[in-house]
Structure 1
C-alpha cells in the first residue's frame, strides 16, 4: 500500500450530507429542549458528519480526525419531516489542525452556520491513549 502525500489535505475540500428530521432528532427526544423540532446537538452531529466526509478519502493510511472545537449558530427551527443539508468546506490546514466552515440549510433558508476544528491523529495511538486511565 502506498501512503498518501502530506498535502492531500488542502483547503477547498468539501462535502454535503443530508438529514430528514424524524422524532428521534428532535430537542424533545435528545433532551436538549422540549419542542418537537431539530435539536441543536443533532444539528451539530450532522455538521460534523459533513466535515468527516470532506476529508475521509484524503486521510493518510492509519489516520483519522477528531473534533476539538465547535462554534455553531443555530438560527432557525426545523420541524419533523423537513430535510436539512450540511455543507462543510475545509478552510485552513495548519499541520495537523483542520478548520472547516459549515452551513446547514433547508432549501434556500439558512438553519445554522459555524466553524468546526478537527485534528489529524494516528487512529491506533489515539484509541490506545483514550483507554488509559488518568
Structure 2
C-alpha cells in the first residue's frame, strides 16, 4: 500500500509539472500575440513584481520596440527545453523564427500568488548564446 501511495504522489507531482509547463507555454503564446500587436505595456503590466522592480515600463517597452525593429514580428518557434526550478520558476528555451532570422530566446516565468508571471526575457540577437548540447538550455551570462 505504501508503494502505491508513493507512486500516486510521484504521478501527481509530475502532473503539476506538466500543468505548470502548459500554463507557462500559454503565457508565452499571449506574450507573442501582444508582441506582434506592439502592446508592450500589456506585457509589462502582467509581469512579475521582480521584473517591474528591475526595469521601468518605459525601458521595457523601448527594449521590445527595438527588438521589433531589429528582428521583426514573430512567425513561429520550436520549444527546445523546459526547466522547473524550486517549484516556482519555469524556464522555456525556444528557437524562434522572426521576420528577419532565427534566434534563441529564453523566457522565465515566476509563480506569484499561484499565477505564473514573466520574470525574465531575452532574445539573442547577437547570436552569442549557445545551447548546452545535453540539456539544450541556454548558456547565459550572469543575470
Under a length normalisation based on structure 1, what TM-score does the superposition of the two structures give?
Answer: 0.33
Q: Name whichever structure is richer in strand by fraction.
A: 1
Bigger relative CO (Cα 8 Å, ≥ 6 apart): 1
Under a length normalisation based on structure 2, what TM-score does the superposition of the two structures give?
Answer: 0.31
Q: Name whichever structure is richer in helix by fraction.
A: 2
